[in-house]
Copies of this chain bind each other. A is one copy, B any other.
Amino acid sequence: MGIFSKTCEYAMRAVFFIAAKTADGGRVGIKEIATGIDSPEHFLAKILQDLSRRGVIQSAKGPNGGFYVDEAILNMPLSSIVEAVDGNDIFIGCGLGLEYCSEENPCPIHHEFKAIRNQIQVLLKTTKIGEFNEDLNLGIAVLKK
């Protein structure tokens, strides 16, 4: 596995896809999203339901329904997606999995890893969900395997 869980990878790709498709209005359906990011449809549906409940995307049922995002969501940081799916372990967890690792009671690599955790945090907090729309729509960035 990578830095994030598979579920979280799907979530980020899906949110980027939805953002790029619906920033100018409109909705996009689960089938189109699943195809667009190479993910299993029903599994992704669950992930998106969860993200929708948590306000990271929006959804509407019925004809012309689908998933979409508004301006406020476009300006939300990537950390919103990651925290909704994987929690905040990546920001605070110990590199060696020690529950009580801290500044006062550090594991051997505690200080070295603090820098990495911080950098991940800065990246996820300062990058906006809508930031890639142009690159995605121009085909400069890609979401498929």
Residues of chain A touching chain B, judged by Cβ–Cβ distance below 8 Å, are: 1-6, 9-10, 12-13, 16, 78, 89-90, 93-101, 105-110, 112-113, 115-116, 119-120, 123, 127, 131-132, 135-136, 140-145
User: In the bound complex, do residue A1 and residue B2 qualify as a contact, i.e. CB atoms below 8 Å apart?
Assistant: no
Copies in the complex: 2
3 closest Cβ contacts across the A-B interface? A9-B97, A108-B132, A2-B93
Judging by beta carbons under 8 Å apart, are B12 and A106 in contact?
no
Q: In the assembly, what is the distance between CA of A28 and CA of B78, in Å?
A: 46
Q: When the two chains form their complex, are residues A96 and B141 in contact, meaning their CB atoms are under 8 A apart?
A: no
Instruction: Return the contact of A108 from the options B93, B96, B107, B135 (Cβ within 8 A).
Output: B135
CA distance A26 to B6 in the complex (A): 43
